[in-house]
Amino acid sequence: MIFCENYSDLPTNKPKLFRNKLRRERNKLRKERQKEEENWFGNITGIGFDGRRDATLQISELNGKYYTSTILEDHYVITGEPGDFYLDHFSPESGKGIDIAHGIYKKVCGTELENRLSLVKADGTNVNTGHRNGSIRYLEMFLGKPLQHDICLLHLNELPLRHVFMKLDGTTKGPDKFAGSIGSKLNGNVSEWKVVKFKPIPYNGFILLGNETLDSLSTDQYYAYRICCSIITGDLDDDLALLEVGPINHSRWLTLACRILRYYASLVKPSKNLKMIAEFIVTVYFPSWFHIKVKNKLTDGAGNLFHLIQRVNKFPDKNVREICYKILNNNSYFAHGENILIAMLADEEEEVRVRAVNKLLNIKGLNEIFTCEDSFEGGVVESESEDEPAEDDDETKYPPMNKGRNKYLDILMKFSQIYRQKFGKKKVILYTTFKVLPQQNIFIQLNVFKIKF
């Protein structure tokens, strides 16, 4: 096929495509797409956002001449929910939470989404979830209303592995290397590593995926599933041994976990720390990762967190458990009362759903009695010691903010009270303890929830 500007340029023996016709079809498709996007803001009720810092080309003018330069700039993408589709993108003035929230607010301000917005999705980084200077907190103050927080559990699942690995092996050394005795040997082509008779790591709780889920996995995710099954059974297939894994990247811990297991299968006598890290990956990290992959709805969040805590509780090494407890205590967003209530409302048993509805009605009744409507703002769990101090920003460039809202409840997980209790129809009880501020005694009844997972 060739492009032609006019009929005189037409060959006689080749298919033709006129540039004007292609241009008309593009314009037609753009207009149809724009009409669809106008309706999106009226149908969605939630947004998700994520970003990264990229090298960006910049053009500057000096004395009538133009010069190009490369700068590092934050780029953020906004997606719509339900449906998880692209909405818009922006570049905040800085990486601070208030500027990120301001960039999001400018995109939704004046649209139907401004009034309909009730949920926000984001990673669990401190710049997003900080209860004083987090971008979600600022977005709520810009909008003047609380939002349901949907914090990424896959991001949470990486944190225990990251801290356990660095505690047992050492810190990073450059953007794609580690300084420890184990991490320093994980670079290179894994297909060139030999396969020996290694000691299997048995685990009966590993989830088995169906064909539909396996087809949806990426290459590295499919490799992770197969290598984990091989380490459990003690049999590494020849075709799996010849497959490659993605390179080491400090923002992609799934490929690092794959390389650790492949390295474990190449050693007859692995070190004590390597065996412990491999056991943690097989019994905690990957089971939780695939469990979240299968049960990926907001209503599954509390259950996924519960199962992650249970796997950590069963890990034999006490020091590793303590490392994980500290991480989970600062990032257990789905252990917050409102997220547990959401899970209860979607439970398969009517008894649990009725209990959740009665709890909500009870809370609303107390709010009316004490005239503090909408003062229950949940969804963020943040350690006060890690929160950034407030900075003196030029507030004239930002929209008015409702700063009179109460702080979020700060959750304190008591892991000794999180356990399974089987009775009757195998219900599971999750006890969650809150630190209730003096002015929030109204929510004392949120201390204990019973929920089946």
- pLDDT tens digit at each of 453 positions of the chain: 544 555 555 555 555 667 888 888 888 988 887 777 666 666 788 999 999 888 888 888 888 888 888 888 889 999 988 877 888 889 998 889 999 999 999 988 888 888 888 899 999 888 998 888 899 999 998 988 888 899 999 999 999 999 999 999 888 887 778 888 888 888 888 888 888 899 999 999 888 888 888 888 999 999 999 999 999 999 888 888 888 888 887 778 899 999 999 999 999 899 999 999 999 999 999 999 999 999 988 899 999 999 999 999 999 999 999 999 988 888 888 888 888 888 888 888 888 888 888 888 887 764 433 333 334 343 333 333 444 444 555 666 777 766 654 444 444 555 544 444 333 333 333 433 333 333 332 232 333 333 333
10 Å CB burial of residue 434 (0-12, 13-18, 19+) is buried
Q: Is residue 145 part of a domain?
A: no
Together in a domain, 259 and 303: yes
Helix, strand, coil percentages, rounded to 5, for the chain: 50, 15, 35
Instruction: Write down the residue that tokens 């939780």 correspond to.
Output: 288
Looking at the whole model, is its pTM more than 0.85? Answer: no
| Residue that finishes a domain, picked among 256, 284, 317 | 317
Together in a domain, 271 and 163: yes
Together in a domain, 167 and 207: yes
Q: Is residue 99 part of a domain?
A: yes
Reduced to 3 states (helix: H, G, I; strand: E, B; else coil), residue 169 is: helix
Together in a domain, 299 and 169: yes
Together in a domain, 277 and 345: no
The alpha carbon of residue 17 and the mean position of all alpha carbons in its chain are separated, in whole angstroms, by 45
Together in a domain, 309 and 430: no
Q: Is residue 380 part of a domain?
A: yes
| Residue that finishes a domain, picked among 289, 317, 345 | 317
Together in a domain, 101 and 240: no
Close Cβ partners of 174 (under 8 Å, ≥ 6 residues apart): none
As for how many domains the chain has, the answer is 3
Together in a domain, 194 and 57: no
Nearest to 242 by CA among 279, 200, 286, 194: 194
Return the sign of the alpha-carbon dihedral for residues 312, 318, 323, 325. positive
74 in Cβ contact with 102 (< 8 Å): no
Biggest alpha carbon distance in the chain?
86
Q: Is residue 70 part of a domain?
A: yes
Count of Cβ atoms closer than 10 Å to residue 119 Cβ: 17
Q: Is residue 228 part of a domain?
A: yes
Instruction: Write down the residue that tokens 């080749």 correspond to.
Output: 14
Question: Ramachandran region of residue 110, left (φ > 0), alpha (ψ -120 to 50) or beta?
Answer: left
Domain that holds residue 32: 28-122
Together in a domain, 89 and 220: no
Together in a domain, 249 and 184: yes
Together in a domain, 351 and 295: no
Together in a domain, 159 and 32: no
236 in Cβ contact with 265 (< 8 Å): yes
